[in-house]
Amino acid sequence: MPRKPVVLVCRKIPDDVEARLKRDYEPRLNPSDRVYSGDELVKLADGAEIVFASHSEILSAEVIGRLPASVKGIVNFSVGYDHVDVKAAKARGLIVTNTPGVLNDATAEIAMLLMLGAARRAAEGERMMRNGEWKEWSLAFMVGSQVTGKTLGIIGMGRVGRIFARRARGFDMKIHYFNRTRLAPEQELGAVYHARVEDLLPHAQFLSIHCPATPETRGLMNGARLALLPKGAIVVNTARGAIVDDEALIAALKSGHVAAAGLDVFNNEPRFNPGYSALWNTFLLPHIGSATRETRNAMGFKALDNMDAIVAGRAPPDRVA
């Protein structure tokens, strides 16, 4: 019987995905589910054909340059691949893949949760209830912002952005958006297109970020752009933390120019700027946008489809480098 290809699995994966992986490959699993350092990853990849990674593994040019010659590809269990230096991977002749198209609904659900939670002061109220601090009710008590009928600005009208827009229309929200290219009318569904982010922001009573983290979008929401939002706007981010300048957003939240923020992603995860947790007007989640059983299984199987193609010498369906 021919030897099965060796795969370095960098994080713990769903049981159903692990079962298929064990059937077809010789996996080096990570049962403790801890994040490998670059040195550990390089050492553990010795003899492996595939590095099965997630966004928690930083595959920098330096790490990629030290990967063993046996490695053919980096198969990501994620849509985003900003944790991989794709230029360095191409230079090494490594194939890099991701898992698009299967976490759209789950991420749009979390964006909706964040938008509603931030607008209606859910985190503050939940803490109050758990800490036994609810003492009375009044007409001025826990007054937040209404979502229904407001204008929603979306940065990035890809798969997730379009689904989120569709969900938001259920609240009679008016949709404005920025995208690298304008959508076809049948995809816009009446949404108002802006060719520049700066033109979108003054309309956005709510702003939801759905674009990838690229060199062009890193720090996109800085102080100058946040200042273009209407006073009292609410910011939601389920894309990548790198798109937001933390200090600028914290300053805007403190001043009240931004009324609240709902965040599922952060710079330097899992460590994040403590300024957010010190504020009452933040609704914070630990990067769980795709965290449903259905979605994580679908992501894993898509990753394995890419892996199968690479090992067989075929073009993987979700190649990004």
**Side-chain half-sphere of 65: how many Cα atoms within 13 Å?**
5
Encoding tokens for residue 7? 């795969």
> 55, 120, 176, 287: which one is catalytic?
287
Query: 238 and 209 in contact (C-beta within 8 Å)?
Result: yes
> 162, 225, 240, 296: which one is catalytic?
240
Query: 51 and 41 in contact (C-beta within 8 Å)?
Result: yes
Q: Is 133 tagged catalytic?
A: no
Give the burial class of 146: count Cβ atoms within 10 A of its Cβ; 0-12 exposed, 13-18 middle, 19 or more buried: exposed
The three-state secondary structure class of 76 is: strand
d(CA 273, CA 271): 7
Sign for the pseudo-dihedral over CA of 294, 295, 297, 298: positive
The three-state secondary structure class of 154 is: strand
Q: Is 194 tagged catalytic?
A: no
- CA 100 vs. chain centroid, Å, equals 12
d(CA 199, CA 300): 39
Task: Return the C-alpha torsion angle 83, 89, 94, 99, nearest 10.
Answer: 30
Q: Is 314 tagged catalytic?
A: no
> 34, 269, 294, 314: which one is catalytic?
269
268-275 own/partner pairs: CB under 8 Å, 24+ apart = 268/241, 269/56, 269/241, 272/241, 272/246, 273/246, 273/247, 275/246, 275/247, 275/250
CB neighbours of 216 closer than 8 A, spacing ≥ 6? none
Residues annotated as part of the active site: 240, 269, 287
